[in-house]
Amino acid sequence: MLKGRAWVFSDDVDTDLIYHNKYLAETDPKNMPQYAFEYYPGKENFAKEVKPGDFVVAGKNFGCGSSREHAVYCLEYAGVPCVLAETCSRIYYRNAINNGYPVLFVKGISEAIKEGKIKDGDQLEVELSTGTIKDVTNGNTFHGDAVSDLENDIMKAGGLMNYMKAKAAAK
């Protein structure tokens, strides 16, 4: 069970809003969190205020745009345990899974955001194995897709490359 506070975002959050291209020269993932959401209106202080365990909650099409892994690393290394979104771009999802970072797809979360049923600062409890998200602040429960066995194995290995190395060594 993961517990933390919600940071709520809209639909169509592109990778420039997650991690702006002017910082792409940064190659150390440990330094990337300081730039997270710097250009997202109203969330400019995300990097200074996010705490390990906090969740990014977004609507549809999270991570659209370019294929930069920085958009995954800046959240992972900030201590955000997973992204909760209705949908995300295929390239963002692939980058997340390849790096052992979970994304839960939560049907209806976009409407819930628009209707104010989940807000910034709400305290959440997330169960990756079942996909259940409980908003402790207001009592709402959301149901996402559970992390698959393969995704879980990749996460436990620390990413796809480590997973593949372990599989090859086992043969």
Domains and CATH numbers, the chain: 2-170 (3.20.19.10)
In this prediction, residue 103 carries a pLDDT of 94
Predicted confidence (pLDDT) per residue in 72-129, tens digit: 999 999 999 999 999 999 999 999 999 999 999 999 999 999 999 999 999 999 999 8
CA quadruple 124, 106, 56, 140: dihedral sign: negative
DSSP 3-state of 6: strand
The residue-averaged pLDDT of 138-166 equals: 93
Question: Edge-to-edge strand order for the sheet containing 55-58?
Answer: 103-105, 83-85, 55-58, 2-8, 123-127, 132-135, 141-143
Which of these, 109, 65, 111, lies nearest to 83 by C-alpha position? 109
Round the average pLDDT of the chain to a whole number and report it. 95
* Buried residues in 80-114 as b, exposed as e (16+ CB within 10 A): bbbbbbbbbbebbbbbbbebbbbbbbbeebbebbe
In this prediction, residue 33 carries a pLDDT of 98
The residue-averaged pLDDT of 155-162 equals: 92
Count CB neighbours of 59 within 10 A.
22
pLDDT bucket at 147, cuts 50 / 70 / 90: confident
Q: What is the pTM of this model?
A: 0.93
User: What span, in angstroms and rounded, lies between the C-alpha atoms of 161 and 158?
Assistant: 8
